[in-house]
């Protein structure tokens, strides 16, 4: 009986603190690492989503957009929810011409009438001459001829031209022609690199 009572008393006694030589295991470092990794993974997933469905970086190729853009410039392009507007710089695809993307300026949108007069180096939209301080030089007749130079842009399409008119294959060129808006990847927002070319578009 005494042995049983002594065992019960021992079980009811408050637990003794651990010896000083055995410190408790600190798990705060592991939890902090877990939280940091989770934040990093979330940020990477968001980054991938943005640059898959909303924005992307495009490298400009060729001289057709000089002096606004130069070959080798990296531009940020926004596509999510974008609808082309007159004057925008856009990136598009036109597989009849080439597989790589093309960078041009929107001259006219659906329903607008485009008239190109090479004699006066003038582009008119709905009868009004555009003020084009962005073009590199006076416009000459291209090597492929006047091409498409008097047209009303069909529904769901845009008419595009390069800022370097004398070295640009664009909507005047039959293999590119009027561009379906579904071929537009997005609008050029800014030049990102090289740093000394940085600017908003």
pTM of the complete model: 0.76
Cα dihedral across residues 195, 197, 200, 201: positive or negative? negative
Using the structure block, give the residue that is written with the tokens 């596509």. 79
Mind listing the pLDDT tens digit for each residue in 53-73?
A: 568 999 999 999 999 999 999
Catalogue all structural domains in the chain, each as residue range(s) with its CATH number. Answer: 55-200 (2.10.109.10)
The answer to whether 134 and 168 have CB atoms below 8 angstroms apart is no
Which residues touch 187 (CB under 8 Å, ≥6 apart)?
A: 77, 78, 79, 82, 84, 88, 89, 90, 91, 201
| Residues 68-103 pLDDT 10s | 999 999 999 999 999 999 999 999 999 889 999 999
Ordered strands of the 150-152 beta sheet:
128-129, 122-125, 113-117, 150-152
The tokens 């606004």 sit on which residue? 68
Q: What share of the chain is helix, strand, coil (3-state, %, to 5)?
A: 25, 30, 45
For a pLDDT cut of 90, what percent of the chain falls above it? 70
Residue matched to tokens 């329903």:
111
> Could you report the per-residue pLDDT of 13-24, keeping only the tens digit for each?
555 555 555 556
């Amino acid at each position: 009986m005494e042995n049983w009572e002594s065992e019960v008393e021992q079980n009811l006694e408050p637990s003794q603190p651990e010896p000083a030589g055995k410190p408790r295991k600190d798990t705060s470092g592991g939890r902090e690492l877990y939280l940091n990794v989770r934040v990093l993974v979330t940020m990477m997933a968001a980054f991938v989503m943005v640059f898959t469905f909303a924005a992307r970086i495009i490298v400009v190729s060729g001289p057709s957009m000089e002096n606004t853009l130069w070959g080798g410039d990296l531009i940020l392009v926004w596509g999510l929810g974008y609808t082309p507007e007159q004057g925008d710089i856009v990136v598009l695809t036109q597989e009849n011409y080439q597989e790589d993307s093309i960078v041009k300026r929107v001259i006219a949108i659906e329903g607008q009438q485009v008239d190109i007069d090479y004699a006066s180096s003038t582009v008119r939209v709905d009868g009004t001459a555009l003020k084009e301080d962005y073009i590199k030089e006076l416009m000459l007749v291209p090597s492929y001829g006047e091409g498409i130079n008097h047209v009303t842009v069909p529904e769901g399409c845009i008419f595009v031209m390069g800022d370097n008119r004398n070295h640009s294959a664009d909507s005047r060129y039959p293999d590119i022609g009027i561009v379906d808006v579904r071929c537009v990847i997005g609008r050029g927002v800014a030049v990102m690199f090289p740093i000394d070319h940085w600017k908003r578009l």
